[in-house]
Structure 1
Amino acid sequence: MVKAFGYSSNGGAEVQEFLDLDMPSPMPGELLVEVRTAGVNPVDWKIRSGLFGGSDASSFPAVLGSEVSGVVREVGKDVQGFAVNDEIFGSVAPGSGGYTEYTLVTASAAAHKPLQVSFHDAATLPVAAATAYDGVIQLDVKEGQTLLINGIGGGVGVAAAQIARDLGINVIGTASEDKRALVETLGATLIASGDGVADRIKQILPDGVDAIFDLAGGDALQAVATLVDDRTKLISAGDPAVAELGGHMIERDRTHRVLEIVGALVADGKLDPHVEDVRPLDEAADAIAAVEIGHARGKVVIQVS
């Protein structure tokens, strides 16, 4: 049996539980992976809570988590470029999860782990770093221009700041004051979030910014949207209401091409995922709680083996 941490109905933390599951078998286009590390992301608890739509009974039990690093133990039909014992990282296959000893990974959304990159760092790349890369590239901000990352203190924001900085872009970001030290290590300028945030930004940038990468949504997005004149340079990773402000949602690539790029950035020392909290699988509930409550700085991961 395979140990996993998941849930048997949509809801809050009270529906979470450890599960004993059968060993999964890869379908065509999939890899069976022995998980070394699983990344923990806000999307995990949002899916569990049913914020993206409730699941039907046939979907349960479900395993939490959407990104992993690990070792290939079986290769499904029609998969090319991967072999047993390859060290990889990637996104879990539909119906699978990451907080588990073994999972299925979609081969087209996986990449080989560079030798210089730890399993902990690699496990954070498919969701946060890949989203960050897609957003920065989509905005097409030029060298010397200014990018506002709205909600810079989380995993996507931390990665986006570094990717933008490497391209010669000036970065400012909104976050709570307790994340100032982290943000400043990224070479970015922190603007304290909350009431009056737009005025605080205008104090240092009277003409506004050249682009906004929103990771906060809601009122926080509304508060800063007017700081960019060209609304094609306003994107959000999580709030469809950005369209009402003249912007649009991020367009995700979700292929191994982007994973290879962000993996190389980590290997070259240009991107530090800032894994700040490593928990064993037995403490999976605490790991997801740290992210759900919003107290995590940098990335939280679960070490499985």
Structure 2
Amino acid sequence: MSLAYGFAAYGGPELQRFLDLPVPDPRPGEVLVEVRAAGVNPVDWKVRAGMQRAFLPLTLPAVLGREVAGTVLRTGPGVTGLAAGDRVFGSTVGGSGGYAERALLPVERAASMPEGLSFTDAAALPIAAATAHDALAALALTAGETLLILGAGGGVGTAAVQLALVGGARVVGLSSAAKQAPVEALGAAAVAYDRDDAPSRLRELLPDGARAVLDLVGGDALHGLTGLLTARTRVISVAAEETRARYGALPLSRTGDTATLSRLAGLVAGGRLDPCVRRVFPFAAAGEALALVEDGHATGKVVIDVTARAEGPDV
């Protein structure tokens, strides 16, 4: 059996609990991984709340989490390039969550871990960093252009700041005042949206407008950028389709393929990308880890150390 943390019905956090489940068998193109660390993302609580049911149907009870790092236990039929004992990280198979002792990874969304990359750092890359990577590729930034990031203090935002700077772009990051200092520490010009001088500060930093905008906030966030968006501004946004259409914005998407994961891992191992893991929770406190992310107060990434179970749950 495999201990996991998930939910048996859609709804609020009170429905989360530890589960004792059969160890899954890897199918063709999959590997079974002994999970060492699991990343925590906003999409996790949205899945539990039922907000993703239209395109991510689940058989309940379901395990939370979509990104893990660990060691290959078994490979499914037809798998090449990975073998038992290999250290890997990636996104889980649909319906197979990551807050668990065992998880399934599809080989096309998994990558080997280079020396110098820890399990906790690796577990922070498949969703947030890969999403940032693909967003910047879609925005096609060139050296010297200015990128404005709305929500620069979160997991995707902190990765996007660094990757844009690695590519030679200039970055202005909009975040809460509580996250302004960490954003500045990454090398961006930070602006606190919850301070009165935010509009004037943005105009000062972007006198000619932004050449590209990565909106990780959604809602009405783009409406507050009057005068900063020009006909040439390229925009990617998590806002609703109607809002995106108004600004000619592309939706935020992610492939998280092996090549992307390998590049990100190389950047971390080479000291050019900090996964910004700011909190690591033991497996017994998986619910607390998700609550921190769901409340919106997390800066950078939150990771669960699945091996840390000194005070394990009563299941």
Whether TM exceeds 0.5 here: the answer is yes
Structure 2 CA distance for aligned equivalents of residues 57 and 108 of structure 1: 21
| Residues 170-181 of structure 1: pairs in structure 2 closer than 5 A | 170-181=170-181
Counterpart contact for 1:201–1:208, Cα < 8 Å = no
| Residues 138-287 of structure 1: pairs in structure 2 closer than 5 A | 138-194=138-194, 197-224=198-225, 227-230=228-231, 233-237=234-238, 239-240=240-241, 241-287=243-289
Partner of 1:104: 104
Partner of 1:8: 8
Partner of 2:131: 131
**Any unmatched runs of 5+ in structure 2?**
308-315
Partner of 2:40: 40
Counterpart contact for 2:4–2:100, Cα < 8 Å = yes
Superposition deviation, residue 301 in structure 1: 0.3
Partner of 2:310: none
- Give the letter for the 1:16 counterpart: Q
Counterpart contact for 1:215–1:236, Cα < 8 Å = yes
Counterpart contact for 1:90–1:110, Cα < 8 Å = yes
Counterpart contact for 1:197–1:223, Cα < 8 Å = no
Superposition deviation, residue 197 in structure 1: 4.1
The range that moved more, 244-253 or 170-179, is: 244-253
Over aligned residues, Cα RMSD in angstroms? 1.8
Superposition deviation, residue 174 in structure 1: 0.6
Structure 2 CA distance for aligned equivalents of residues 269 and 230 of structure 1: 37
Aligned residue for 2:108, secondary structure, equals strand
Counterpart contact for 1:197–1:224, Cα < 8 Å = no
Structure 1 CA distance for aligned equivalents of residues 168 and 9 of structure 2: 46
Structure 2 CA distance for aligned equivalents of residues 162 and 256 of structure 1: 20
Superposition deviation, residue 196 in structure 1: 6.9
Counterpart contact for 1:232–1:246, Cα < 8 Å = no
TM-score, length basis structure 1:
0.95
Superposition deviation, residue 274 in structure 1: 1.0
Superposition deviation, residue 141 in structure 1: 1.4
The range that moved more, 7-16 or 53-62, is: 53-62
Counterpart contact for 2:149–2:174, Cα < 8 Å = yes
Identity across the alignment (%):
48
Aligned residue for 2:107, secondary structure, equals strand
Counterpart contact for 1:171–1:188, Cα < 8 Å = yes
Counterpart contact for 1:141–1:169, Cα < 8 Å = yes
The count of residues paired between Structure 1 and Structure 2 equals 305
Superposition deviation, residue 203 in structure 1: 2.6
Partner of 1:298: 300
Superposition deviation, residue 253 in structure 1: 2.7
Counterpart contact for 2:40–2:304, Cα < 8 Å = yes
Counterpart contact for 2:219–2:239, Cα < 8 Å = no
Superposition deviation, residue 138 in structure 1: 1.2
Partner of 2:312: none
